Amino acid sequence: MSRPFVFQIAHTDNVATALAEVKKGEIVGMRGDSDLRELIATTDIPKGHKIAIRTIAKEEPILKYGVVIGKATEVINKGSWVHLHCMCSIYDERSSHLDVHTGAPCDIDYE
């Protein structure tokens, strides 16, 4: 079985993107503009989603593409999945009201 890889887009980013599904405990290889060679996933990371490449403090900016895309709503440990459950977008205020797995709105009462 081959090892999964993640891609750090810009050297200043504190997250990388999973190029394949990553399981908790797997050692992932780093690609892109990174000083890291590998890191251990501390949670499952879906393909195409973000992984913290260092610990990110609560309220700290999330950097991807070399720009701030959001902020941490809690401490995010190195190797953890970075998504709507632990960050909020600075571009889309409504993203904090979406289901973390399905993307369905959680702030609408359909009854």
Q: What is the pLDDT of residue 1?
A: 57
Q: Where are the domains of the chain?
A: 5-97
Q: What is the pLDDT of residue 3?
A: 86
Q: Which residues of the chain have pLDDT under 50?
A: none
Q: What is the pLDDT of residue 111?
A: 61
Task: Say which CATH topology domain 5-97 has.
Answer: 2.30.130
- CB-based contacts of 24, cutoff 8 Å, min separation 6: 41, 42, 43, 44
Please give the Cα distance from 47 to 22 (Å, whole number): 7
For 19-40, write each residue's pLDDT tens digit: 999 999 999 999 998 888 999 9
Q: What is the pLDDT of residue 92?
A: 62
pTM of the predicted model as reported, rounded to 2 decimal places? 0.81
